[in-house]
Structure 1
Amino acid sequence: MTALIWFRDDLRLTDHAALRAGAEDRGGVVALYVLDEESPETRPLGGAAKWWLHESLTRLSAELAAHGVPLVLRRGPAEQIVHEVADEAGADRVYWNRRYGDERAIDARLKLALRERGIAAHSFRGGLLFEPWTVLTSGGSPYRVYSPFWRACLAAPEPAAPEPAPDTLRAGGAAPASDDLQAWALQPTSPDWAGGLAARWEPGERAALATLERFLSERAADYEAGRDIPALDVGSELSPHLRWGEISPRTVWHRTLEAGVSAGGFLSELGWREFAWYTAFHNGRLHEQGLNAQYDAFPWREYDAETVGPWQRGETGFGLVDAGMRELWQTGFMHNRVRMVVASFLSKNLLTDWRVGEAWFWDTLVDADPASNPFNWQWVAGCGVDAAPYFRIFNPATQQQKFDASGEYVARWAPESIMLPELVDLRETRLRALAAYDSIRGASRERPASE
């Protein structure tokens, strides 16, 4: 009697419902991770995400090995590999935690196929506080605005408390053969550009739990006042850990409330993460298609090396933009306020298709979340649900005056930016963007002033 536990974006032992179910069953468990970049429902990982995945799998493998359970690694289409490994392990049941993006179509087909073969297949609550189909308007339709969505979530029963890691795990007989993680070549080699990532981050469940405790004890008290100041280190730094499921949102939620800190704003960020996944669940393919059909006719520029290149390299001549893009390249991360500024600059001042920027973030962010990344880009560009007004164009100079008045953040990441020529004229490109918006709205009218 063997249970196959299929790990996906839940690389942890704590609050892992599928693992706990396998541990509580009679018999042993076999742990499996599949790197599936072939199925049409999956999206190949970016470079920074691959680096994180390598490190996280290394740590998960060590944690499981300490319980006597090896982690089987396979690469290829998940539907085929899960069947193969289940047969090799002699598994009579397969457990996994639910996914909420396009990949859930794989899970649905696989569950049916396994059951047809006499293998039990069970899925459990995944990495969200609220299941997306349980939060609907009074008319039974999905919410398209964040505030009423989050109010409905808060009015629902509180998320269940996280479960501890299983005390004991038993290996399920002879483990199937595993790929060599090094052979997956997830880490860069020529050149090795990941030095800044390794200096900045420690992946893995233990680091995730320690990061949460550090935030609650050292930063949470200053979070509300300083969250928009990129030079201040008051952020939780949990986003990549949440993206890879090294910590569950239930753990973050309950531990934050237990700590007794004033963290309404911080918990609302978990709400935005929920809303992004909720939107992905009810729509799908967020990185490919804007949710506001009106913007299908918007005159985006697909790619212009003369403007996109300097934006990617942090050579626009606008300090806040350049600092953010260089922080991103060196560390795989960017402050949230700065993300909005650089996204607005690309999609509005440079009039570049938001998908170009989303793809760059997907490749360079360690927390490149399949739902949040495209959701946030659509929000800034104006083509998403509950998006920023089309006339809201973040002025990078004004934003720097407001949120980096001392110049500390810019000096840290792009001190020579002040010497660079400005890539575009902010006023002219703002007017150009508004004219482009008017072209799809069919009317010109008075606009509020730019920020």
Structure 2
Amino acid sequence: MQKVNVFWFRRDLRLEDNSALNKALEGDIPVLPIFIFDENIVTQLDKKDARINFIYECLLRIDQKLKRYNSNLLVLKGKPIEVFTKLLENYHINSIYSNKDYEPYALERDRKIYTLAKERHLNFYRYKDQVIFEENEIVKADGKPYTVYTPYKKKWLAAFEKLNIGCDNGDFNKFIKHSVQLPSLSEIGFSASSLKASEFNPEKINNYGEHRDFPSKDHTTHIGPYLRFGTLSIRQVILDLPTQSEVYLSELIWREFFMQILFHFPQVKNNNFRSKYDSIPWRDNEEDFKKWCRGETGYPLVDAGMRELNATGHMHNRVRMITAGFLCKHLLINWQWGEAYFAQKLLDYELSSNNGNWQWAAGTGCDAAPYFRVFNPTTQIQRFDKNFEYIKKWVPEVQELTYSKPMVEHKFARERAISTYKQALENQS
């Protein structure tokens, strides 16, 4: 039985500048690279889920690169604990290497693998890779986590100035020499999706702060899926940032802020960060929710955003705020409904950012918009799409009689939201 070190690909689908992979390749023991389609996750997904397609294409590219070194990627499907138990029957595993994942399910999964490894007298090594600073590296003087973004960002930037980051590759000749066949997409239980992630465009970083709020310009880099699945190294991304990229860097820091919030306060996955908002009597009207999902609210910018999401798996950042605010404040539908819909549709879905931004929009999260801040979807058009370029692309009937009437009047909805929130808070005092 061949002695190997296992490198487990997860949210780090690249060979280049991969922290745990580099560590695995340092020794003299051959490295067996694996990826597991986790049945605890994939069985809940649509058979044409575009994210599975994205992952599969990444695995194909990794496998092609490994062939240059007379190796292959071993792709498996099952529950991780069962997969590793079976691997131990076929390989003499010395150590398991992986990069850290900070989400609640991932932490639970890794605890099970750690327990198995300990029982079998194996090492299970995990390394920081998907962030610059992880959960306990940017904290208050008393060691407690930040719950407000601005002081977190200041400390992050101060720490980053002292950091000496680089990008390294391991010796790829140390991969195990073997030949295994990558299963087809259908053998994994999925089929091709018509949705494709847009290419990451680093040129859009230039003047990002100037153009990012205007959806018709689409001046976003579409980096989300590439960071979510780790096809790009966050270290390399930041090292390659051009000068005067403060606004773009701030967005990357927001990502790490929400990650550490989820780690320290895992209850936010299913609950309000601020429990005082637990008593809000959400209307949760299912017909209203369906109209929002379809982009048939009668508010052009909201409808354009939802239709873009449904058609492409992407939505412009500014419009995400507007559509989310509309659902929570105008329709008084629980943010969890919208969060779940975005989780189903977004190609760049990431639990911590999705949860954090939805709670921000609802006013229930950390460092959230105050509950009495209610976006006016009509005046937002004047600010961000005054020529209706974005709207006409996704709502071509906007100036026709067939276009939906607004499902709720703004002034009424705003006053209803404010009074509902206010009453809920007063009832607790």
The answer to whether the superposition gives a TM-score over 0.5 is yes
- Between the aligned partners of 1:430 and 1:336, the Cα distance in structure 2 is 22
Deviations 1:258-290 (A, max 9, x none): x3x310000000010001101011011533211
> Displacement, 1:422?
1.2
Whole-Å separation in 2 of the counterparts to 1:130 and 1:9? 16
Match of 2:143 among 135, 140, 153: 140
CA displacement, residues 115-163 of structure 1 (integer Å, 9 cap, x when unaligned)? 3312122111120110211221112211110011111111214455342
SS at match of 1:73: strand
Letter of the aligned partner of 2:411 in structure 1? R
What pairs up with 1:77-88 in 2 under 5 angstroms? 77-88=79-90
CA distance in structure 2 between the aligned counterparts of 1:152 and 1:106, rounded to whole angstroms: 31
2:278 and 2:237 mapped to 1: Cα distance?
38
Mark the runs of 5 or more structure 2 residues left unpaired by the alignment: none
Residues in 1 aligned to 2:166 and 2:258: alpha-carbon distance in whole angstroms: 22
Q: Read off the aligned partner of 1:168 and give its amino acid letter.
A: F
Identity, % of aligned pairs?
A: 34
Residue 68 of structure 1 contacts residue 170 of structure 1 at CA under 8 Å; is this kept in 2?
no
- Choose from 230, 242, 245 the match for 2:230: 245
> Which residue number corresponds to residue 371 of structure 1?
352
**Aligned residue pairs: how many?**
419
Q: Which residue of 1 aligns with 2:394?
A: 413
CA-to-partner distance for each residue in 1:28-62, whole Å, 9 max, x for gaps?
A: 111111122428xx995573433322332232332
Residue equivalent to 2:269? 287
In 2: Cα distance, 1:225 partner to 1:85 partner: 52
Of 209, 217, 221 in structure 2, the residue corresponding to residue 236 of structure 1 is: 221
Give the corresponding residue for 1:325: 306
Aligned to 1:130: 133
Alpha-carbon distance between aligned partners in 2 of 1:51 and 1:344, rounded to the nearest angstrom = 31
Label 1:359 to 1:48 Cα distance change in 2 as closer, same or farther (>3 A).
farther
Q: Is the 8 A contact 1:29 1:169 kept in 2?
A: no
Q: 1:216-268 CA distances to partner (integer Å, 9 max, x unpaired)?
A: xx333321111111111321211110011111211111111xx3x31000000
Q: CA deviation at 1:179?
A: 5.0
Structure 1 residue corresponding to 2:321, chosen from 340, 348, 356:
340
- Output the TM-score relative to the length of structure 2: 0.91
Letter in 2 for 1:124: Y
2:99 corresponds in structure 1 to 97
2:20 and 2:129 in contact (8 A); partners too: no
One of 416, 420, 423 as aligned partner of 2:407: 423
Higher mean C-alpha deviation, range 102-111 or range 275-284:
102-111
The 2-side partners of 1:286 and 1:179 are apart by 37
SS state of the match for residue 34, structure 2?
strand
Tell me which moved more, 178-187 or 6-15: 178-187
1:114 to 114, 117, 126: 117
Rounded Cα–Cα distance in structure 2 between residues aligned with 1:84 and 1:368:
31
Q: Residue in 2 aligned with 1:298? A: 280
Q: Does 1:201 align with 2:221?
A: no
CA distance in 2, matches of 1:409, 1:177: 45
> Which residue identity does 1:89 align to in structure 2?
Y
The amino acid of 2:299's aligned partner reads: F
Structure-2 change in CA distance of 1:355 and 1:114 (3 Å) = same
Flag the 1:287–1:65 CA change in 2: closer, same or farther, 3 A.
farther
* CA–CA distance in structure 1, aligned partners of residues 62 and 296 of structure 2: 39
CA distance in 2, matches of 1:177, 1:54: 14
Aligned equivalents of 2:181, 2:69: Cα separation in 1: 18
Q: In structure 1, the residue corresponding to 2:217 is in which secondary structure?
A: coil
- Indicate conservation of the 8 Å contact 1:358/1:374, yes or no: yes
The answer to which of 113-122 and 401-410 deviates more is 113-122
Shift of 1:379: 0.9
Matched, 1:307 2:288: yes
Q: Deviations over 1:369-420 (max 9, x none)?
A: 1211111111111111111111111111111110111111111111213432
Is 1:166 the counterpart of 2:147 in the alignment? Answer: no
Give TM-score scaled by structure 1 length. 0.87
Whether the 8 Å contact between 2:72 and 2:178 is mirrored in structure 1 is no
Q: Distance in 1 between the 2:353 and 2:212 partners?
A: 18
Match of 2:6, SS? strand
Q: SS of 1:358's equivalent?
A: helix
Shift of 1:91: 1.8
Does residue 186 of the first structure (1) align with residue 199 of the second (2)? Answer: no
Q: 1:98–1:124: 8 Å Cα contact kept in structure 2?
A: yes
Q: 2:9 aligns with which of 1, 7, 10?
A: 7
Which of residues 370, 376, 380 in structure 2 aligns to 1:389? 370
SS for the counterpart of 1:35 is strand
Cα contact 1:27–1:170 (8 A) shared by 2: yes
- 1:16 aligned partner, one-letter code: N
Q: Name the structure 2 match of 1:448.
A: none
Change (3 A) 1:55 1:173: closer
Rounded to whole Å, the distance in 1 between the matches of 2:22 and 2:86 is: 23
Instruction: Structure 1: give runs of 5+ residues left out of the alignment.
Output: 189-193, 203-210, 444-451
Name the SS of the counterpart of 1:376 in structure 2. helix
